[in-house]
Amino acid sequence: MARKYIVYIDMDDVICDYSNAYKMSIKLNPTLKFPQSKMNFFVNLKPVKGSIKAINFLLDQNILDTYILTSPSVRNPHCYTEKRIWVEDYFNLELARKLIISSNKGLLKGDFLIDDHNAGRGQENFEGQLIHFGTKKFRNWEAVIDFLMEKINTLRNPGL
């Protein structure tokens, strides 16, 4: 059996549209300093365009072991539960079992980390390859999937 490649995927602004929800909350209530601290903030986030289809595609790949790796909002103790509910609502209980909430992503071992930040939550210490989502190279989910599948094909078939 071929080795499985471990892929971690961040939630906020990679799977879920955190930034637009944050901006809208501030617009609706300008005195609110930390919208993410309010109950139901995380559970009500909308998916990033293409994220649901892309993650389902990754989950269907037998060569991948796919996890969600997200940082908590320490200002909102409900975020742990809300993120878990969100994953089950948009995917299933099986992926909810593969939800990891950690303030230091560099502690985990794996091959790929898809994240919108390249530092600040341990991304800079991740030993695998960081796929910096939302940048020129990885502008959207289509670019990420193309790169990831090409990279894995190269790793599995060196010299081709």
Residue with more model confidence, 30 or 56 = 56
Q: Which domains does the chain have, with CATH numbers?
A: 5-156 (3.40.50.1000)
| Residues 77-98, mean pLDDT to the nearest whole number | 96
pTM for the whole thing?
A: 0.93
pLDDT tens-place string over residues 93-134: 999 999 999 999 999 999 999 999 999 999 999 999 999 999
Asked if residues 141 and 48 have their Cβ atoms less than 8 Å apart, the reply is yes
CA 64 – CA 58 distance, rounded (Å): 7
What is the pLDDT confidence band of residue 69, given thresholds at 50, 70 and 90? Answer: very high
Q: Residue 1 above 70 pLDDT?
A: no
Neighbouring residues of 76: CB distance < 8 A, sequence distance ≥ 6: 34, 36, 37, 38, 39, 41, 42, 82
Q: Residue 17 above 70 pLDDT?
A: yes
Neighbouring residues of 103: CB distance < 8 A, sequence distance ≥ 6: 71, 72, 74, 121, 122
